[in-house]
Structure 1
Amino acid sequence: MAEAVPLFYGDRTEAENPSNFIKAFNRSMLFLNPLSTDAQKIKALANYLRMGSPAERWYEDLTTTQLASWDELTKAFNDRWPTTKSASQTSEEYQTELLSHKMLKEDVGVIRTVGQQKVWSHVRWADEAMELARLAKIKGGSTLIWQVKKQLPQAVRKLLDDEYMSWKTFTDDIKKLNMSKLKQECKEIEERKRREEERDQKLLQKVEVAKRATMADIMAQLQCLTIGQVAVPRTASRTSPSTTSPSSCNMQYTPPTEELKETVRKGLEQLPHQPDDEEGQRRYLSQLASWTMKHGETTRVTEHTPYPLKPGTAMICSGECFRCGTHGHGSRDCLTLEGDSSRLSCNETAWRALCNRALGPFNRSTAYSIRLVALDDQGNETGLL
């Protein structure tokens, strides 16, 4: 069946391509009458030009010479409607597109339909990557292979070689991946992920257990660690100080020894302050769980039992509040209440106070200022403390 050739206007609308029209007309003539003469083709062309259009007026103005042969007519046609050169991307642009050509983890082991043919998604990805490498003119070398390989799903990467010297070798290996091994690798990765999530959940549970210290123990520790203060026993009477019984914490401040300072410094090195990101939080939870398993839930914090520092809080020994780990106020003026998420655990409070007592605020000049955000009764931010 002959190809339907639409009427040609010649008014340069976006929907019309002159070069495609003349090609379609030639194909139609070859199908209808392969032995047609130039005169027959020239006469037939007039019937494919829209009535009253710029194309029809052009045809009517053709000279005798231009109507003498099909070659002369097509030359006149191309002069009137020259072929527009298609835009082309540079090698660098194709390389950028190649780097953004990612294989999703969810697509591994999935069948896609390409040209009425069912293929594995990683096979389709490899063909598309190879085409981009060809367009970028890097298919014969190893340019960008390691960067693209790094972005592949873990299950695919594990079944590939460490290095590749050409894109053809690289993409061919991807297309040849054994589906049984690939699916097994995906299954093992998911199983490892599940076990890690269970382990993290157990760590969180141990941390919660470690936080169940009584307020009486907290106050006793703080009284013993407060700088320059005399700890007053809880049973003391305000009206009868002479009847107050002595307490083991009721002593004047004494300067820390060099031995104490060195022990505290080593404790800070053992448990570095973690950054406030996903990896930092995971390491912090691991530190907490290790501390609880080693020392137990009710062990008192001393220079020999250094305690992990909460990510996102101020640097230790930087003039911070020992109760919330931020700057701008002291522990006595801290507005955080017991149970507040901004409040530090009793053990961390004790450790920060002990470090400050032993080493002083030596980090004050280098620490970033971290402030506590104050909220009103409706939970609206009212300012920094």
Structure 2
Amino acid sequence: MDVIDIIVTKRDGGELQPGQIDWVIDAYTRGAIAEEQMAALNMAIVWRGMTRAEVSRWTAAMLGSGDRLDFSDLPRPTTDKHSTGGVGDKITLPLTPAVAACGAAVPQLSGRGLGHTGGTLDKLESIPGWRAELSPAEMRRSLTDVGGVICAAGAGLAPADRKLYALRDVTGTVESIPLIAGSIMSKKLAEGTGSLVLDVKVGSGAFMKDTESARELARTMVDIGNDNGVRTVALLTAMDAPLGRQVGNALEVAEALEVLAGGGPDDVVELTVRLGREMLAAAGLPGAKDPADALRDGSAMDAWRRMIRAQGGDPDAPLPVAAERREILAPASGTLTRLDAHAVGMAAWRLGAGRARKEDPVSPGAGVTLHAEPGDHVRVGRPLFTLHTDDPARFDRAAESLTDAVTLDGEDTRLPLVIDRIG
């Protein structure tokens, strides 16, 4: 194989053959292909795209670069959910124990946040004692005993993707649907789940800003999953406004606990239930207990408490609270017709809830509380947002992020919470 021939083939719009894809992924992972050569191939893919066959083989090659977990011998069928990320997206927290309470096993490998979207592990690490790093044996034990686990992916899963993503991040080649889809799916398939439900976000707070590109990404990932023997479906869901009323690590855990206790914001509850039903159906459990019932009767909360304890956490411990708060008041009265998710995410990030670099620490108590959502009537001088931080010097820049975040009495252009289903 000659890497230059492979680059030129894709540059000129040709289709890479399975053997070429297998070789280039393996050689790059081993260090036999220079960074600049792989960057050139990535850029050619950005411009020329990939066929379904190419994307599926690219994903399979990255999957084959490392370990693949196998939970097929568990007494419960396995199913998982992956979200493309958004503001206030705490759905994994109530969803995993709710689905576990309905009879499935959920091996949820999650990540930490970067930029304005929060990471599930950052949220859970605000619980005293909870640990993200588990061995495969510990994962298996939690899946057997509890039915769910949320933890960090081991270094041995899809190492090609880890190396490729770092290169794409610094070479302007992140924005490619085939490369995004291959990156996400290589990691999710490595988990060893038998079925997968994708939550592809659309809107200002999401990576995909418009429905058309989100639908293309969803279709590509669904095809990859099914081509690799994992039953896969996707929901396109709204991220033009934040999910729920809390944005920030410990704040979102507290709101997830409200949902697990049978309450919580309507949108968080609805999406938890919709995704849970899809997961159970994909796992071959269409007659299972309904996730809505698991939230109402306390069985989802019971599964949550067992899951947290299994990873060293104390489900009864108080969550961290930021040292400082500041309220932002409504500038006028009227009906809130727009609440920009990206602006709220940036405010939370500036307060310390997120990170600019992977090695940055996060403040567990930092974030934003929303006192109104689109459709609500607000009154002048009443609190619209509460900002939480440990460093009061952060308040002014966070408030700047929210300057144009709200529209009153404008045209209601909200997306429906669930826009489409692909599968």
| TM-score, length of structure 2 as denominator length | 0.21
More strand by share: 2
More helix by share: 1
Higher relative contact order (CA 8 A, sep 6+): 2
